[in-house]
Every structure is written in C-alpha cells, then in structure tokens.
C-alpha cells in the first residue's frame, strides 16, 4: 500500500500597502496593518484635524510631488496645521524614509505650522529629508523624543516656540539642531555625530531666545560643535551643561561679528579634542578640555571607566549622553574561595567512598536499612 504524505505549508500573506496621493488628511489613523504607506504628494493636516500614526508604521515618500504644491512643488512635504501624533515604541518605531534612494533631500520633511495645535513625534526614524522636522508652532506645541535622524540636510529646525527635545540620535547631516529666529527650548540626553556644518546652531534674530543643552554628546563634526550668534538686535542665551563636545573643528564658537547680544555659559562639560576648543568663548565652572575616552568612537560613545568625564557632572554624575561602561563586578576573596571549597568537599567525599569510610546502605524488605556488603566470590 502506497502512503502518500501531503505537506501543507502555511504562508503568511503579503503585507498590505496603502497609497496616499496627498492633499488634506482629515482625522486619519495610519495603522501597522495598512503599512507601508506610500505618500505620492504633499500631505496637509488642516486646522481641527488630527493625523495619528501608530507604532510600527512605515511611511515611504515618493521622490516627486504628485500634488506639485507646497514650498517645493517638486518634493513631497508634510504640513501640520492641525495635530500630529506619531508615537511609536522602542520595539515598533515609526519609519519615515524615501521610497527609493538613500541620499538627503529626496523629500522635504515634516513641517509644523504656526497654527498647529500639537505635534508629538517619538520613537521614530526619519531619513532622506531636506529638514527632517521644522517647527513654527509657538510654546511647547511641538515635542520630540527618542528619534533617530540620518541622511538629511538638517535634523531639526526650531524657528519658533520652546520645544523639549530629548534622546535624539542624529548623524550624517549638515546641521544637527538649528534654533533660528524666535526658536528656543531644551536639548537633552542627545547624540549628534558627524555633522558637516554644525552640531547645534543658535541664531537669534530680533527677539530673545534661550537654548539649554544638557547631558548631550556632540562629536566628530566637520565644523563647529556648537555655534551661537545673534542678528538684528536679537538676544541669545545659550546654556551648555553636563555635556561633551569633542572631535569637531571647533568646540564652542561664539560669533561676535553679529549685532545682537550673546550670553554663552558652558559648565560641567568636556570641550576637548577639537581642533580649537573655544573661539570667543571661555569655559565656565567645572568645564575642562580633555580626551573623553570613548569606548569606540563614533560607533560607541559610552565612556571608558578611566574617562575624565565619569563623575564630572554638577551632582557627581557622568557627563555626556551615555555614561560609562562599567567594569565587571569585582569578586571578593571569599567569593573566589567558595567554588574551591565546594570542589574540595566533593573530592574528599570521593576519597572517603573509595576507602570505605562512607559505606552505601541498602533497604531490606521491611524498610530497615542495612549495610551493603560486597558479595563474596563464588556466591
């Protein structure tokens, strides 16, 4: 009798995709089930509407603008005049990137308008844009955390408001974070590497702006780590604290040729290993210039245990974004002896068994135990 074996192979259905031709987006939710979203033209979220992008969504942006509108009719852009909630998770980030190509400026980026009610972007990756995110919204309507930005001309441009930016990883850009005109706010626990022009730019125009950079690492740029200037009577206050600025052409550059007022304070920071550490600026309390002793720059910017940045913060904490690589826990002398003592006891037990000092016992039919006596030859 022949036996026929039928193998049933279950295959996962191909993932769905959703085409977004562009235009007004009225209270939409983009889901992982509908991902990837292929955006062919400018997307506008009008006042009173909300675009929600759920964790795990991939947004692929076309290289030409089917809407032929916006600030650049040849490239796709997102304009938020209502609300944007794009919040992924560490396990399921949201991805924004070009549909094809790997260079910068294939699409324009995400623009948050002056009338936007809110724009929150977290646990997301943005690449291939001109400016990944630009903000014109006042106050704290815009906020970003846990973003990875790469292959863009500019990471984030803050032209208004005082957003809180934290836990950013920005690489392969011209400028990391730019505060221009009326823009201010905080940048914390962030890493900017390889910026060809400037890591953080503060350029106040006409009005007063304050920027605070804390617990951040700015490394390996082809220009300034931090540059500050003020134009047309503007007033800029830049506070750098508990940070590392290293491996750039210049560390902290204050452009005194501009006409505005500048106050730059660098405290409890390491501005070292730059070609020039300070230009028209000076170190404040707790600031020094030394090799930060990264583990493996630029790939691993944690600090070696011997780094001068370990414990150099204003409250005795490590400075920079990542802290130090802790050595293996020390083992006490007693801890080292325990395994040896255990081995010695085992060996003593084996020796005792072989010598007969420890005789195995057997159990009789009634449950009483009696010594096991080796059987005599012939029995």
pLDDT (tens digit, 9 = 90+) per residue, 218-250?
A: 999 999 999 999 876 778 899 999 999 999 999
Residue 182, helix vs strand vs coil: coil
Q: Evaluate whether residue 5 is within a structural domain.
A: no
Low-confidence ranges of the chain (pLDDT < 50): 1-14, 362, 364-367, 379
Helices and strands: H and E segment counts in the chain:
1, 32
Q: Evaluate whether residue 126 is within a structural domain.
A: yes
In this structure, are 317 and 298 located in the same domain? Answer: yes
Contact, 197 vs 275, CB < 8 A? no
With b for 16 or more beta-carbon neighbours within 10 A and e for fewer, the 213-223 pattern comes to bbbbbbbbbeb
In this structure, are 236 and 157 located in the same domain? Answer: yes
- Residue 14: per-residue pLDDT: 43
In this structure, are 200 and 285 located in the same domain? Answer: yes
In this structure, are 343 and 321 located in the same domain? Answer: no
Half-sphere exposure of 199 (CA within 13 A, CB side): 32
- Residue 233: per-residue pLDDT: 72
Q: Evaluate whether residue 223 is within a structural domain.
A: yes
State phi, psi for 346 to the nearest 5 degrees: -65, -45
> What does the alpha-carbon distance between residue 305 and residue 331 come to, in Å, rounded to a whole number?
18
The tally of domains found in the chain comes to 2
In this structure, are 132 and 233 located in the same domain? Answer: yes
Q: Evaluate whether residue 8 is within a structural domain.
A: no
In this structure, are 338 and 214 located in the same domain? Answer: no
Q: Which helix (H) or strand (E) holds 334?
A: helix 333-355
Contact, 322 vs 302, CB < 8 A? yes
Residue-wise pLDDT for 15-67, tens only, equals 589 999 999 999 999 999 999 999 999 999 999 999 999 999 999 999 999 99
- Residue 53: per-residue pLDDT: 98
Q: Evaluate whether residue 130 is within a structural domain.
A: yes
In this structure, are 218 and 273 located in the same domain? Answer: yes
In this structure, are 126 and 264 located in the same domain? Answer: yes
Q: Which helix (H) or strand (E) holds 98?
A: strand 94-98
- Residue 169: per-residue pLDDT: 98
Q: Evaluate whether residue 305 is within a structural domain.
A: yes
CA 161 to chain centroid = 22
Residue 266, helix vs strand vs coil: strand
Q: What is the CATH number of the domain that holds 190?
A: 2.160.20
- Residue 372: per-residue pLDDT: 52
Q: Evaluate whether residue 13 is within a structural domain.
A: no
Q: Quickly count: other Cβ atoms within 10 Å of residue 203's Cβ.
A: 22
The boundaries of the domain holding residue 355 are 334-368
In this structure, are 363 and 263 located in the same domain? Answer: no
In this structure, are 356 and 289 located in the same domain? Answer: no
In this structure, are 279 and 170 located in the same domain? Answer: yes
Q: Quickly count: other Cβ atoms within 10 Å of residue 265's Cβ.
A: 17
């Amino acid at each position: 009798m022949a036996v026929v074996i039928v193998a049933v192979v279950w295959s996962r259905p191909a993932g769905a995709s959703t085409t977004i031709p562009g235009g007004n987006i009225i209270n939409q939710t983009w889901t992982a089930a509908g991902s990837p979203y292929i955006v062919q033209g400018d997307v506008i979220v009008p006042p009173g509407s909300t675009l929600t992008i759920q964790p795990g969504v991939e947004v692929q942006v076309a290289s030409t603008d089917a809407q032929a509108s916006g600030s650049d009719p040849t490239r796709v852009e997102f304009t938020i005049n209502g609300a944007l909630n794009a919040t992924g998770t560490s396990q399921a980030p949201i991805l924004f990137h070009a549909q094809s190509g790997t260079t910068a400026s294939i699409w324009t980026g995400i623009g948050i308008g002056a009338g936007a009610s809110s724009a929150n972007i977290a646990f997301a990756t943005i690449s291939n844009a001109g400016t990944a995110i630009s903000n014109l919204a006042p106050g704290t309507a815009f906020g970003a955390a846990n973003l990875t930005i790469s292959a863009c001309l500019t990471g984030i441009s803050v032209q208004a408001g005082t957003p809180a930016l934290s836990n950013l990883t920005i690489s392969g850009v011209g400028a990391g974070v730019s505060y221009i005109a009326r823009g201010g706010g905080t940048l914390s626990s962030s890493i900017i590497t390889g910026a060809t022009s400037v890591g953080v730019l503060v350029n106040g125009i006409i009005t007063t702006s304050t920027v605070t950079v804390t617990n951040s690492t700015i490394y390996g740029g082809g220009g300034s780590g931090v540059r500050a200037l003020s134009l047309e009577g503007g007033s800029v206050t830049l506070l750098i604290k508990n940070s590392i600025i290293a491996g750039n052409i210049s560390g902290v550059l204050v452009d005194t040729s501009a006409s505005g007022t500048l106050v730059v304070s660098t405290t409890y920071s390491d501005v070292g290993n730059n070609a020039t550490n300070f230009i028209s600026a000076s170190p404040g309390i707790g600031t020094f210039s030394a090799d930060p002793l990264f583990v493996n720059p630029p790939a691993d910017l944690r600090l070696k245990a011997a780094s001068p940045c370990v414990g150099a913060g204003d409250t005795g904490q490590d400075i920079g974004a990542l802290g130090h690589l802790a050595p293996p826990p020390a083992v006490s002398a007693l801890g080292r002896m325990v395994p040896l003592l255990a081995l010695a006891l085992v060996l003593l037990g084996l020796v005792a068994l072989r010598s007969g000092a420890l005789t195995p016992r057997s159990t009789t039919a009634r449950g009483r135990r009696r010594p096991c006596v080796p059987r005599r030859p012939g029995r």
